[in-house]
Homo-oligomer: A and B are copies of this chain.
Amino acid sequence: MIRISILGTGNVARHLCHAFKAIDTVKIVQVVGRNEKALKTFGSLIDTTSDFTKILEADIYIIAVKDDAVLEVSEHLKGKRGLVVHTSGSVSLDALSPHERHGVFYPLQTFSQDRKVDMKSVPFCLEAHDEPDLGLLEQLSFKISSKVYIVDTDQRLALHLAAVFVNNFTNHLYHIGKEICDKKQLPFEILYPLIRETTAKVGSLSPNDAQTGPARRGDVETMERHMRQLEHSRYEGVYKILSGSIENLYR
């Protein structure tokens, strides 16, 4: 039995709690958070507290709060013997070094309030100051996921950056696609199959080999027409730099 405490009440805390609740060999000792209303949503079967002086003993303390609150929350764990980890992609391992036993437990996924996530497929990126603690984190991760990676801070920061490109920026491109459709009274759904196929390809073809389009072909005429279509719109610069970036790569 691994006894865990979750500190935080946001999307990551909630999804982790939900996943661990289903595991017989993990006991959620406590969920700790300032927000009492949010704590209530964890249900009556889970022990919760908003009083940071009443944190119970646990084997692992999982700090699942915003990046800039990790340090502050971790201070409430002074003197605890359990392993203290955070779930952030961009906070270093060392940030938790005041605790003898510290590590990182980073789920590389975007969690929304209203969407179920298949936790089994979420990659967990682990790091720990001591070897046995890394083993303990591995043990814990494999209980809810089949994808567990040992990733150091430098690698994790790179993943966090890569995630901005493939998730945040990609979503913004979808938004631009939607704006273009809206403007011409076209339903955005018309682009869904293309969006899905673009993503589905990733598993079977490297993005390098899958690249198509006017910039890939060096089709100046089409790019110029697209630029005229975008003239005076806020996305002219985005089109230009992405086309240029693709042209650079393949010429």
Contacts and interface: CB of A to CB of B under 8 A. Distances in A.
Nearest to A164: B213
A16 interface: no
A137 to B, nearest CB: 17
Given A108-B194, A166-B194, A211 B171 contact: yes
A36 B185 CA distance: 43
B190 A123 contact: yes
A175 B207 contact: yes
Interface residues of A, number: 87
A83 to B, nearest CB: 23
- Report the copy number of this chain in the oligomer: 2
A191 interface: yes
B161 A115 contact: no
A89 to B, nearest CB: 10
Contacts of A251: none
A192 B125 CA distance: 14
22 contacts: A67-B222, A110-B198, A112-B201, A115-B201, A117-B197, A125-B190, A157-B225, A158-B183, A159-B180, A162-B191, A167-B194, A168-B212, A169-B173, A170-B198, A171-B201, A172-B211, A174-B210, A175-B207, A175-B208, A195-B202, A198-B199, A235-B245
